């Protein structure tokens, strides 16, 4: 099991009785600091380097939970910092602030055009709900060799800006991604430093980029191998090539020898075979639960061959979907909150389904538990949002937070303070009755035990709002973060289609 930077499993993590890690008590979060500027965040880290930066929380919160009982921690939440998710473009670079999420990269056409491998990597991370929270900086800082954006950033020649507060001013240093990783889940990042920018050089007109992943299932899969390619081609002849691979060794690595194997060729089959051989022989691959070393060796050869053929035939962007459902109406948001620190005794509040809801117990609780408990305390039923896996895998806890579908089990409740939440209880209205998507699930027999259904309804509702007439493929992509163990997916897909049709005809009627 892997743990986020700064989280060390304690002796208590091996509890008797073989409980699943999500059933064991984790480390309490004593305080969630919510700075509203980068300077404030850096000062909080400088004051106490044991504080941990918290972005989307999709690695850190799980690791705190899985690490077993230990001393409580304080976290510095980066999601309330204004403009920390901004993206700037210069003639040569795309410059991402430290809080940019994978979902933003996918939604912004500049990335598929100018940083193709990064866009393709972000699209393969987790699920839409996860991508609406998880950041690229978090992916870098966790530094697992399986983390998908790492090979893309390495092949593109990206760099990170690392900032600290020295007591009087912000100090920043720039580190190439090639120099950022020092070993297995180890980086040059110091405890009081933040990744404040990620600088991605734009692909030049003569460069073609591609990123590929081999995983054991379509969504939520940890890569068995991921690889990124940037090939310079002038008048059909290769003048340079960079290939980075992840999940093959302790860190993500550049494959030596590929540039030499391809330079001066037209990507003919002899050159491609030489490049694939170079990749096969470059590493002593890791051998783990996801694949044997021998499988990885064979697979990397085949991945390199297929990828170079795609690049040669200009098919490197052909798999990019025309419409990418992100399950959000707004992604760049900063909830306004007066509270700069939340402990378990601080009452937080948010707008839930149109009404204000307050409650305490927020620094340790995730949004799922907080909603259910705070609702029960004031006799407002909010138990429709379900816990299936408690680790971001099943989608049963999907709610909309500030316009984006998220997994409530991996959002710290304090991070939603001052925000707007819609749960399944907010879909039906008293005057109009069931939401069309709820009715469609009934009409299409898309429900058996019903446990997963609130999550499907919330994801489906975001999907039909965003993509008015979704195809089967778009529905599959949009619902890829939701699992159902008993109904089966065909009636669910049909229900979403029916709801979209009903909404389209309602809109037509309203416009007559």
Ligand X SMILES: Cc1cc2nc3c(=O)[nH]c(=O)nc-3n(C[C@H](O)[C@H](O)[C@H](O)COP(=O)(O)OP(=O)(O)OC[C@H]3O[C@@H](n4cnc5c(N)ncnc54)[C@H](O)[C@@H]3O)c2cc1C
Q: Which does 248 bind (CB under 5 to 8 A by kind): ligand X, ligand FES, none?
A: none
- Total residues contacting ligand X by CB under 6 A comes to 37
**Is the Cβ–Cβ distance between 214 and 224 less than 8 Å?**
yes
Closest C-alpha among 368, 372, 384, 393 to residue 485: 393
CA-to-CA dists, residue 257 to 186, 241, 263, 275, 278, angstroms? 26, 10, 10, 7, 6
**Is the Cβ–Cβ distance between 374 and 359 less than 8 Å?**
yes
Closest C-alpha among 222, 239, 221 to residue 230: 239
Minimum CB distance to ligand FES, residue 369 (Å): 10
Residues 353-392 that bind ligand X (CB under 6 A): 391-392
Minimum CB distance to ligand X, residue 97 (Å): 9
Name the residue with tokens 């302790």: 250
234's tokens: 């002038």
Q: Which does 316 bind (CB under 5 to 8 A by kind): ligand FES, ligand X, none?
A: none
Minimum CB distance to ligand FES, residue 422 (Å): 16
Task: Examine residue 139 and tell whether it contacts ligand X (CB under 6 A).
Answer: yes
Binding span for ligand X by CB under 6 A among 57-65, 255-263, 294-302, 430-438: 57-65
CB closer to ligand X out of 182 and 469:
182
Name the residue with tokens 């991070």: 415
Task: Examine residue 142 and tell whether it contacts ligand X (CB under 6 A).
Answer: yes
Closest C-alpha among 61, 3, 65, 73 to residue 31: 73
Binding span for ligand X by CB under 6 A among 55-63, 112-120, 270-278, 427-435: 55-63
DSSP-derived 3-state class of residue 497: helix
Minimum CB distance to ligand X, residue 102 (Å): 6
CB closer to ligand X out of 78 and 475:
78
Closest C-alpha among 259, 320, 369, 261 to residue 108: 320
Q: Which does 135 bind (CB under 5 to 8 A by kind): ligand FES, ligand X, none?
A: ligand X
Q: How many other CB atoms are found less than 10 A from the CB of residue 493? A: 18
Residues 95-114 that bind ligand X (CB under 6 A): 98
Closest C-alpha among 52, 391, 60 to residue 220: 391
Q: Which does 409 bind (CB under 5 to 8 A by kind): ligand X, ligand FES, none?
A: ligand FES
Q: Which does 6 bind (CB under 5 to 8 A by kind): ligand X, ligand FES, none?
A: ligand X
What residue ranges bind ligand FES (CB under 6 A)? Answer: 387-390, 392-397, 407, 409, 447-453, 484-487
Q: What whole-number distance in Å separates Cα of residue 109 and Cα of residue 86?
A: 15
Task: Examine residue 411 and tell whether it contacts ligand X (CB under 6 A).
Answer: no
Q: What whole-number distance in Å separates Cα of residue 200 and Cα of residue 110?
A: 12
Task: Examine residue 232 and tell whether it contacts ligand X (CB under 6 A).
Answer: no
Minimum CB distance to ligand FES, residue 317 (Å): 31
DSSP-derived 3-state class of residue 332: coil
Q: What whole-number distance in Å separates Cα of residue 424 and Cα of residue 410?
A: 18
66's tokens: 């899985």
Binding span for ligand X by CB under 6 A among 59-67, 204-212, 292-300, 337-345: 59-67
The binding site for ligand X (CB under 6 A) comprises 4-6, 52-60, 62, 78, 98, 125-126, 130, 133-135, 137-139, 141-142, 147-148, 189, 194-195, 220-221, 391-393, 410
């Amino acid at each position: 099991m892997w743990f986020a930077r700064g989280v060390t499993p304690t002796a208590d993590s091996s509890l008797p009785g073989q409980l699943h890690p999500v059933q064991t008590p984790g480390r309490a979060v004593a305080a969630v600091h919510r700075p509203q500027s980068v300077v404030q965040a850096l000062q909080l880290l400088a004051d106490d380097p044991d504080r941990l930066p918290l972005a989307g929380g999709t690695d850190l919160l799980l690791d705190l939970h899985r690490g077993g009982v230990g001393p409580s921690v304080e976290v510095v939440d980066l999601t309330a910092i204004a403009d920390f998710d901004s993206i700037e473009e210069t003639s040569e670079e795309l410059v991402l602030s430290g809080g940019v999420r994978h979902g933003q990269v996918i939604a912004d056409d500049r990335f598929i055009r100018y940083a193709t491998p990064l866009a393709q990597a972000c699209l393969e991370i987790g699920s839409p709900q996860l991508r609406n929270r998880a950041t690229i900086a978090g992916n870098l800082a966790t530094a697992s060799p399986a983390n998908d954006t790492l090979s893309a950033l390495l092949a593109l020649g990206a760099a990170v800006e690392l900032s600290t507060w020295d007591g009087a001013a912000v100090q920043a240093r720039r580190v190439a991604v090639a120099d950022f990783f020092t070993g297995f889940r180890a980086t040059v990042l110091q405890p009081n430093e933040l990744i404040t920018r990620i600088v991605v050089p734009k692909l030049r007109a003569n460069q073609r980029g591609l990123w590929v992943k081999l995983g054991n299932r379509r969504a939520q899969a940890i890569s068995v191998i991921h690889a990124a390619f940037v090939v310079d081609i002038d008048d059909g002849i290769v003048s340079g090539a960079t290939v980075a691979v992840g999940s093959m060794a302790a860190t993500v690595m550049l494959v030596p020898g590929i540039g030499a194997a391809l330079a001066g060729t037209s990507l003919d089959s002899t050159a491609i075979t030489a490049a694939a051989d170079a990749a096969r022989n470059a590493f002593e691959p890791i051998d783990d639960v996801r694949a044997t070393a021998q499988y990885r060796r064979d697979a990397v050869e085949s991945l390199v061959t297929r990828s170079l053929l795609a690049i040669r035939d200009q098919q490197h962007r052909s798999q990019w979907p025309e419409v990418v459902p992100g399950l959000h109406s707004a992604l760049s948001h900063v909830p306004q909150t007066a509270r700069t620190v939340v402990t378990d005794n601080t009452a937080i509040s948010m707008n839930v389904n149109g009404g204000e809801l307050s409650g305490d117990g927020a620094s340790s609780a995730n949004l799922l538990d907080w909603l259910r408990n705070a609702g029960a305390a004031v006799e407002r039923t909010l138990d429709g949002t379900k816990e299936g896996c408690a680790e971001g895998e099943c989608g049963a806890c999907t709610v909309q937070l500030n316009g984006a579908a998220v997994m409530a089990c991996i959002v710290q409740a304090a991070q939603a303070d001052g925000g707007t939440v819609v749960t399944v209880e907010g879909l039906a209205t008293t005057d109009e009755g069931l939401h069309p998507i709820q009715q469609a699930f009934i009409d299409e027999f898309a429900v058996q035990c019903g446990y997963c259904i609130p999550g499907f309804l919330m994801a489906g509702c975001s999907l039909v709002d965003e993509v008015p007439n979704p195809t089967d493929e778009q529905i599959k992509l949009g619902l890829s973060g939701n699992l159902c163990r008993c109904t089966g997916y065909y009636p669910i897909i049909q229900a979403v289609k029916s709801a979209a049709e009903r909404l389209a005809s309602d809109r037509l009627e309203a416009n007559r």
